[in-house]
Amino acid sequence: MSKVITYLHSSGNTAVVIPSPNTSLSIEEVAAKSVPAGVDYTIIDEASLPNDRVFRGAWKVSGSRVVEDVAKVKEIAHGYRRQHRSALFSPYDQIIAAQVPNGNPQAAEQAREQIRANDAAVQTSINNAATVAEVRAALVGYGAI
């Protein structure tokens, strides 16, 4: 099983060091060359990393695994939510802002209201989620990821 090295980077991110497949060095020797001096690190199985990078910024080391921190996951999720809301708003924003002839601004405003309501519901779901899986489900249901 492949090993990787994790440590807390000065940026606050969890860094993951992947040894080159061609290196003849041991995992400890790779750590000596790749981890900043004086920084603690952990050697773990690569298989214990999360399966995707949707919440990469929320990774943290917990024992012999890298897990996703729920509080950070929620922050990232709200970013996805806002980005998706902007995309949904975009066509209606243009109708209203440009006063497009026959653009039916009343209908556009109604559509925007519905988007706001749906977004607020997703926002609540994310805030109330107890697990990363619940956050993910809320975003998937919204079409944001």
- Binding residues for other proteins, rule: CB under 8 A, are 4-5, 9, 11, 13, 15-23, 25, 30, 33-34, 46, 49-53, 56-57
Bridge partners (DSSP) of residue 3 are 45
Bridge partners (DSSP) of residue 7 are 15, 41
Measured from the CB of residue 112, what is the shortest distance to other proteins in angstroms? 23
Measured from the CB of residue 69, what is the shortest distance to other proteins in angstroms? 14
CB-nearer residue toward other proteins: 50 or 103: 50
Instruction: Please state, in angstroms and rounded to a whole number, the distance separating the CA atoms of residues 73 and 131.
Output: 9
CA proximity to 68, closest of 77, 60, 79, 80:
60
Instruction: Please state, in angstroms and rounded to a whole number, the distance separating the CA atoms of residues 110 and 107.
Output: 5
CB-nearer residue toward other proteins: 11 or 99: 11
Measured from the CB of residue 1, what is the shortest distance to other proteins in angstroms? 13
